[in-house]
Structure 1
């Protein structure tokens, strides 16, 4: 997706596509198992069975991209930054929220409107059904947007040690919260305590990339293989020791989000540093997938639910795994078409209203100039 504040990098859109695809595969395999299909039992399939890790990639990538923009621009005009973020997420998010409140009209309470700012907490209308369930991440993401210009300012003034200090504090909050929360796994999965560190790690990765760019580009192929291995091992370990939904309280989750995000941050830096271009057709397809990834993410659960309810499990060849692949490809293609329609009718008209929020000042600007 083109930005007014940083030169377009197709690698970022390709990573958005990857994150949305991983989350899709996670929910698809859950639906397929629910229809009686075979389960992926090996930990080495953790990238799918624990495919919620795509959300961790989204949060880490957001921190990385916005810190890149801050380092490039040197300062951010706060009101314009927030305006752009509202134009980016509000139209589709409000649409999903209205769908959720329409579904739950009989139980709706006026105070439920406040869930617009907290879809990740309590009994938000969007969490009532799988049709709108993916929207829980949006309130968290917007919270990170609200504080990002200040975080960027302090990080550029004090260097990476500022972000490292915040990560130490987040580790303390995670550990202490574990002792008093009986459903700590869900807390780490869907709240500030569990996710803010991922945004910070993404920001830190952007600062590392800027400082060591030449060296990272030289070693990118090897770094990419190593980072991919770390991500696979991370999800395999989670599948083996503390799979999501298996237990409401597990010490493994205390620092899981940091480990997860560290793996994804390494992958992001390696992929952005990797210079060989993909085949032109493949690159266009993946970049389009990144462009429509927000719609893809918010709509895929509704489409999978409809297919499960009205089509069910089909067996065109009689082999469970081949049938799963065929069903997955069909569902993915339909979601792709739906996301493209949503992007062009709901998202794109508002995206064209965005404006530049950087001030093109060097990164060493004084404190008073960095956030307005």
Structure 2
């Protein structure tokens, strides 16, 4: 997706597509096969059985993109930045929110409108059903938007050490919150307390992209393959020993998991963007184009999956071949609907965005 504040980097859209596809695969697998239970025997499929890790990739990408923009420009105009962010997420999010309250019209009360601002805590209408459930992360994302311009300014003044200190502080806060919360796993999974350091790690990656470009250009490909392997292993360990579906809500592993997860994805991002990784010119273009629809893919895929499952079930059974065919058909349907959503809901508003960073002063 092209920005008015940064030269177009198609690899970022390709990574956005990966993040959306991981979440799609996660929901598809458990709706059609896994049954929303821990599957330690499939730890080697952790990127699918615990594909919610795609949300972490989205968060790290946000920190990476905005810090890259800030590092290449100067001051960020706060009101223009927030206006752009609202134009980016509000039209589609509000559409999904209206769908959610319409589905549950009989239980809706006027105060539920306040959940427009907090879809990740309490009992928001978007979380009353899986069909609109992915919207929970939007409040976490927007909370980061509110503070990012200040963070960028402080990083310019104090350097990367400022972000490191914040990450260390968040680890202590997460420990305290874990001890205090009854449902600590969900708290660490779905709130800014558990996710803020993922944005911060993305910002560190953005700084590295800007300041270590020579090293990354030389070693990016190796970094990508090593980081990808480490990510697969790390998510596999999480799937094996600390699945998000385990009934025990007091799992100490989750205190540090978000930080580990984000660091893994940061390595993948840096290696992929600087490493010259290519799938061939045509596929690169297709992946980048589909990546521009990633927000719509993320927000609508659960409704597409649920609707198809209710109407047709798992066509052909739950064997590997049948699952593969069902996944391919539903992915195609999701991409088609997401293209439509992007065209009629997102794109017209995206064209209203303006530049919010000043160009660096010339010597």
Query: Residue 227 of structure 2 corresponds to which residue in structure 1?
Result: 227
Query: Residue 194 of structure 1 corresponds to which residue in structure 2?
Result: 194
Instruction: Describe the SS at the equivalent of 1:219.
Output: helix
The correspondence of residues 59-74 of structure 1 with structure 2, limited to 5 A, is 59-74=59-74
Deviations 1:5-31 (A, max 9, x none): 110000000000000000000000011
Query: Residue 216 of structure 1 corresponds to which residue in structure 2?
Result: 216
Aligned residues: 360
CA distance 1:276–1:30, change in 2 (3 Å): closer
Query: Residue 308 of structure 1 corresponds to which residue in structure 2?
Result: 309
Deviations 1:273-295 (A, max 9, x none): 11254312201210111100000
Query: Residue 52 of structure 1 corresponds to which residue in structure 2?
Result: 52
The correspondence of residues 17-32 of structure 1 with structure 2, limited to 5 A, is 17-32=17-32
Q: How big is the shift at 1:363?
A: 11
Q: Which moved more, 1:277-286 or 1:165-174?
A: 277-286
> Distance in 2 between the 1:331 and 1:201 partners?
33
Contact 1:19 1:58 in 2 (8 A): yes
Query: Residue 326 of structure 1 corresponds to which residue in structure 2?
Result: 325
CA distance 1:121–1:319, change in 2 (3 Å): closer
The correspondence of residues 136-215 of structure 1 with structure 2, limited to 5 A, is 136-215=136-215
CA distance 1:245–1:277, change in 2 (3 Å): closer
Contact 1:75 1:363 in 2 (8 A): no
Query: Residue 350 of structure 1 corresponds to which residue in structure 2?
Result: 349
Structure 1 unaligned runs (5+)? 365-372
Instruction: Describe the SS at the equivalent of 2:345.
Output: helix
Q: How big is the shift at 1:220?
A: 1.4
Query: Residue 129 of structure 2 corresponds to which residue in structure 1?
Result: 129
Contact 2:72 2:210 in 1 (8 A): no
The correspondence of residues 241-320 of structure 1 with structure 2, limited to 5 A, is 241-246=241-246, 247-315=248-316, 320=319
Deviations 1:208-236 (A, max 9, x none): 22221111110112111100011101111
Query: Residue 98 of structure 1 corresponds to which residue in structure 2?
Result: 98
Q: How big is the shift at 1:75?
A: 1.5
Instruction: Describe the SS at the equivalent of 2:269.
Output: helix
Q: How big is the shift at 1:120?
A: 0.2
> Distance in 2 between the 1:363 and 1:351 partners?
30
Q: CA RMSD in A?
A: 1.6
> Distance in 1 between the 2:274 and 2:253 partners?
31
Instruction: Describe the SS at the equivalent of 2:320.
Output: helix
Contact 1:35 1:308 in 2 (8 A): no
TM-score by length of 2: 0.96
Structure 2 unaligned runs (5+)? none
TM-score by length of 1: 0.94
Contact 1:35 1:313 in 2 (8 A): no
Instruction: Describe the SS at the equivalent of 1:131.
Output: helix
